[in-house]
Structures are given as C-alpha cells and as structure tokens.
Amino acid sequence: MSDRKPAGQFIDAAIDLLRRVRDEEAHTIEAAGTLIADTVRDGGRLFAFGAGHSSLAAQDVVYRAGGLALMNLLAVPGVVGVDVMPATLGSALERVDGLASAVLDSSPLREGDTLVIISLSGRNALPVEMALNARALGVRVIGVTSVAYASETKSRHTSGTFLKDHCDIVLDSKIAVGDAELTLDTVPAPFAPASTVVTSALLQAVMATAAAALAERGIEPPLLRSGNVDGGHDWNGRVMEQYGDRIFYRR
C-alpha cells in the first residue's frame, strides 16, 4: 500500500472502480436505461431485488427523490437487510432452493415488467432462480453483479450457473472477489468493501439514462421530488395518482 492513509486509499480505490464502470459499462448502462424507458412507455412495471447488503442498492432506487416513481422493491422476508435476527439467517436463505419461486408466485410481477436483480457474487440459489423464473414469466431481467465471481468461484445453484447467465442485460460492477479493497500488514484480513458505492452509482446512472430517454421521446419521466423542498409533496401526489396502478410501495 502507498503512504496515503487508509481513508484516502479507499476513496481512490472507489474512484478507480467508478471510472472503470463509467468507461467499460457505458454500453450496458445505456441498454439498461433504454429497457427501463421502454418498460415505462409500454405500461410495464419496474421492480428491484437484492439480498443482504445488495438490497441497499435496490432500496436506493425505490421511493427516491430524483428517482423514478415506478421503481418498486421486490422484498423477500428475511433477506432484505441485517434487521433479521440472527443476521446470518439472511445469508442462509439466499441458498434455499425454491424460495424465489414462492416469492414470484405471490408477487405482482407479470409479463412485460422489468426486474433489476442485484447480487454481488451472483452464485447463490436465490438470485439465480429469481432470474430464471422471472424470465419464464416474460419479465425482462437486468442483472447487477461482479462477473469475476463466475470465473473464480463455484455456483451454489443446482444448475451450476450464475445470475449473469439468466439476464437480458448484465451490468458488471468490477468488484474483486471478496469485496475488500485494502490490506495492511497489521490487519489480518482484507477490508473496506466498495460494492455498495459502485453498485448504487451504476443503478443511478441507469435511472438517469432512463429519464433522459423518456424525455427524448416526448414522455415526461415519472420522477419524484424531495419532500423537503417546497411543493415536493404536491408534486409527488400528482405523480403517484397518475401512475398509482404501477406503484406498489403505497399499498
């Protein structure tokens, strides 16, 4: 490591990853944003799913000031975050075969919708099965994952495949296996994960692309405004009334 302090080293590492994503994923970001714009235009609904810490990036695009009002969270009880006790239960549930099928069967997802699935490793049964079954329903799937895991780890799904193998579009976060950017001789394990920073930035880039694509087609993007600015609540109320049949986080 350089003489720069760990805080600076981590920020530099995150910036390097963001630059890689900007330069190397420009085409897939454009494709994902266009797909989301197409879905909005065609009357489809938008959903995001992530398990464990991957759920943070999913939550960041749902009911978000400056974001698309139509993005809904596809929640799986026990895996949305670390609020479940014990926290290790969430990791265990990601490996359970059949859970994704049960979730999709009881969800509002239908043909013509788009589902964003976020999974850093993309190797566990839950995200793989979620993508497989969603596509079988006629749902378009955008996967956000680290492609490196597919070559450096083994799948935990019975098919032996990864999330990236069952998506219409794959966004590669470029995160190294293990999700830790720093090492020190005095620290016994790698530390400082950057996946949340990079994945959230990737998804916000996709949302920005979608909003611009809708505007270019003469469609006003269904964006939310902050409730902490004057007129924000009134603005959001109008958007939610107009698109109420495609917004599920109010029900």
User: What pLDDT was estimated at residue 243?
Assistant: 96
User: What pLDDT was estimated at residue 3?
Assistant: 63
> Quick check: bond before 188 cis, omega within 30?
no
What percent of the chain clears pLDDT 90, i.e. is strictly above it?
84
pLDDT in tens, 114-145: 999 999 999 999 999 999 999 999 999 999 99
Range 84-91, long-range pairs (CB < 8 A, 24+ positions) = 90/51, 90/52, 91/52
- pLDDT of residue 227 exceeding 60: yes
- Which of 1-15, 48-62, 224-238 shows the lowest per-residue confidence on average (mean pLDDT)? 1-15
User: What pLDDT was estimated at residue 87?
Assistant: 75
Average pLDDT over residues 226-246: 96
Average pLDDT over residues 211-231: 97
Q: 203-235 in b/e burial notation, b at 16+ Cβ within 10 A?
A: bbbbbebbbebbeeeeeebbbbbeeeeeeeeeb
User: What pLDDT was estimated at residue 29?
Assistant: 98
- pLDDT of residue 2 exceeding 60: no
- Confidence bin at 82 (pLDDT 50/70/90): confident
Minimal CA–CA distance to 116: which of 96, 141, 92?
141
- pLDDT of residue 80 exceeding 60: yes
CA distance 79 to 93: 7
pLDDT in tens, 146-189: 999 999 999 999 999 999 999 999 999 999 999 999 999 999 99
Please, are residues 119 and 148 in contact by the beta-carbon 8 Å criterion?
Answer: no
- pLDDT of residue 1 exceeding 60: no
Average pLDDT over residues 10-38: 98
Q: Backbone phi, then psi, for 182, in 5-degree steps? A: -120, 155
The answer to pTM > 0.85 is: yes
Q: Which residues contact 222 (CB under 8 A, 6 or more apart)?
A: 40, 68, 69, 70, 239, 242, 243
Q: Which residues contact 125 (CB under 8 A, 6 or more apart)?
A: 94, 95, 96, 97, 99, 100, 156, 157, 158
Average pLDDT over residues 200-214: 98
User: What pLDDT was estimated at residue 179?
Assistant: 96
When the pLDDT of each residue in the chain is averaged and rounded to a whole number, the result is 94
Which DSSP letter does residue 223 get? B
